[in-house]
Structure 1
Amino acid sequence: MANKLEALSHQAFRIPLEQKQEVAVARYRSLFGYKAAGIVAQHDPYKRHDRGEFWNLSKDDILGQHENPVPYPPIFQDVRPMLIDYIQKAHNIGMLILEILASRLGIKPEEMTSRHKIQCESGDHLRLAFGPGDYEAANTELTRSEAETRINTFAHTDFGSVTLLFNWMGGLQIENPETKAWEWVLPIPGCAILNLGDAMVEFSGGTVSSGKHRVVAAPGEQAAYNRYSVVYFVRPENDVVLESLTPGTIPKPEDERWTAGEWVDMRSRQFGHTINTAN
């Protein structure tokens, strides 16, 4: 099914820009809608612009659970049954992963899964991502500094609990926690890449970590081609407090506790997205 969504991406990103901007993330709640290239605010000395475009499709919008859904273009409305099917299956996989992690951490599995109920409002969403091909880069063996000038998605950790990623080309890099060097992540056909996010760091009492990663121009000849990926973000329900669930943990002071919804909004602002919480 990820292959069908990748094919959908080819069509969705060809929608005229003015139509995509009608549902831009800045016009609707949080991250949901269309994100154009070049809008992510960065604080590095080079003031580089990101090259990635996203369609962020809210789980609650697609499942009909939000009273004020983003009016996604007809191309998504026409395949809503497929989107519903994918979201439900991706969420179920996320729950299985959370159950396994909980058992290894000495947490009752239901303590973890009960904070991620699919019928409750959350930041869960399906992302279709696009990065433009770069003919110049395709004819160059990119050094680290050269790759940094061709950023699709800047370095970050994921906000939520579990991320499921399907991609078909190189370009994803993860930061080595010891050397701080960026290392390529090889895509394997038919397999998803699994990442843990900030919420899992909190739930595990810091036992697990949220890997810093980024997306740059693909290495070698791949760089000439457009890059597509399909991502599903499993996040806690908006009103869930991010706190350790591990036995014997001392609770954080009240002023240091965040709900999942507050955390996503705060991290989104740091990442450069304009948040409209009026809706």
Structure 2
Amino acid sequence: MPTVDHFHKYPPFPADVPVADLRCLSFTKLLADEESESERLFQSCREIGFFVVDLRGISEGEAMLKHAEIAFDLNKKIFGLDQEELNKHAFQPNESLFGYKHAGSGKLEDGSPDALEWYNLAQDDILGTSAPRKHPQVVEDSREAFQDFFYHAHGIICHLLAHLDKHLGLRRNTLASFSPQDKPSGSSLRLLKNSPQRIGSHRTNLVGHTDIGSMTMLFNVLGGLQILPAGAENVDANWRYIKPELGCAIINLGDAMVQWSGGVLRSNMHRVATAPGKQAGCTRYSVAYFVRPAHTVLMRRIAGGDVIPDPEDGEEDEDICAQDWEKIRGAQIVRGENKPKSMGGRMPKTRKLQASR
């Protein structure tokens, strides 16, 4: 996450909690197309669907960290507004998730209220792809800062996607072309807040889920984000914290990447729990950039290559555009017809052939 100052404002992440074993990748090495680092990225996307990227030491990465720091400061200003002002900009569940969500409006697995607030900014709104939405004055005064965040974050995501293009046997810019910033989409910047909790509490603040889009970039300082290891039963004892790292962003893949890759890439279950140790007593802020496909992009596997596997017997591709796909999946989850679960991690076609020789 951004600067040393931000980390030093809070108690340290405790050493006695179960932590996920994620690869920490160097953005400098990825920009230089170092083959070993590229392979580590691909394996992370297949096996876990999560990795950490160190953005320090190179101008593009350092600029992103600065924009994340500005977004953190704006996050605190937004949630410092009167509740009455925030409620004027509440999101409408039947229309979109853009705007303000108050704590308790979502439900956990046991039906109890969640403990997470957010303010969700539509990329289309901030970049001018759609008509502007109304926001509190602090947001309106900061549109240029949010634009800078969107542009820099998207640029870094595109660099990461280019490595996946290579390992999936696709032409460069294939995956990035599914989420252009000048076409309408559900991409967003979400500013999140968890109020302080009782130290030692194991409360879940946001229910376990996978992201519906293609890739997410998260910045946080306090712990709380957890993932469920591949194949593990969904019980509290199996969830693992992701430790925030100085100068780094947490990256995870969403369900769209599973669709396009024929199940090779992985979308992993994750949730937000109370921060561990003494961090639980602090207000937890985080900043997440959710990249989703353009509304018109088809949600079917990319066919014709030597890496993405063909459909198996009884398996059908969904010939549907992203906008409709997202609506259907969201409605299924609300009705309880599609329980969140990790997906993907299949063996690529070429590696199947190699293994059979």
Q: TM-score range by the shorter chain?
A: 0.7 to 0.9
Residues matched between the structures, number: 259
Which runs of structure 2 are paired with 1:167-206 in the superposition (5 Å)? 167-180=220-233, 181-206=238-263
Amino acid at match of 1:78: D
Counterparts in 2 of 1:26 and 1:39: CA distance versus 1, 3 Å: same
Distance of 2:220 and 2:326 partners within structure 1: 24
Distance of 1:129 and 1:30 partners within structure 2: 17
Query: CA shift at 1:271, angstroms?
Result: 5.6
- Percent sequence identity is 37
CA deviations over 1:81-131 (Å, ceiling 9, x no partner): 111011001111111111111111111123222211110001111110000
- Equivalent of 1:59 in 119, 123, 134: 123
Residue 156 (str. 1) matches residue 218 (str. 2): no
Which runs of structure 2 are paired with 1:1-12 in the superposition (5 Å)? 1-12=67-78
Task: Provide the residue aligned with 2:157 in structure 1.
Answer: 94
The answer as to whether partners of 1:125 and 1:232 remain within 8 angstroms in 2 is yes
Distance of 1:270 and 1:51 partners within structure 2: 23
Task: Provide the residue aligned with 1:262 in structure 2.
Answer: 324
What is the SS of the residue equivalent to 2:77?
helix
Amino acid at match of 1:6: F
Task: Provide the residue aligned with 2:310 in structure 1.
Answer: 249
Residue 107 (str. 1) matches residue 170 (str. 2): yes
The answer as to whether partners of 2:89 and 2:99 remain within 8 angstroms in 1 is yes
Query: CA shift at 1:202, angstroms?
Result: 0.7
What is the SS of the residue equivalent to 1:84?
helix
Residue 38 (str. 1) matches residue 104 (str. 2): yes
Return the TM-score normalized by structure 1: 0.87
Query: CA shift at 1:23, angstroms?
Result: 1.6
The answer as to whether partners of 2:107 and 2:207 remain within 8 angstroms in 1 is no
Residue 24 (str. 1) matches residue 120 (str. 2): no
Amino acid at match of 2:134: P
Structure with the bigger RCO (C-alpha within 8 Å, sep 6+) is 1
Distance of 1:65 and 1:107 partners within structure 2: 28
The answer as to whether partners of 2:194 and 2:283 remain within 8 angstroms in 1 is yes
Distance of 1:172 and 1:117 partners within structure 2: 28
Amino acid at match of 2:252: N
Counterparts in 2 of 1:18 and 1:265: CA distance versus 1, 3 Å: farther
CA deviations over 1:180-201 (Å, ceiling 9, x no partner): 3100110001100000000000
Please list every run of 5 or more consecutive structure 1 residues that lacks an aligned counterpart in the other structure.
274-279
What is the SS of the residue equivalent to 2:268?
coil
What is the Cα-based RMSD across aligned positions, in Å? 2.1
Amino acid at match of 1:155: G
Query: CA shift at 1:20, angstroms?
Result: 1.4
What is the SS of the residue equivalent to 1:114?
helix
CA deviations over 1:121-142 (Å, ceiling 9, x no partner): 01111110000111x2x1x2x5
Residue 76 (str. 1) matches residue 142 (str. 2): no
Distance of 1:60 and 1:20 partners within structure 2: 21
The answer as to whether partners of 2:162 and 2:172 remain within 8 angstroms in 1 is yes
Amino acid at match of 2:185: S
Amino acid at match of 2:279: Q
Amino acid at match of 1:64: G
Task: Provide the residue aligned with 2:79 in structure 1.
Answer: 13
The answer as to whether partners of 1:49 and 1:151 remain within 8 angstroms in 2 is no
CA deviations over 1:166-192 (Å, ceiling 9, x no partner): 000010100012223100110001100
Query: CA shift at 1:28, angstroms?
Result: 7.8
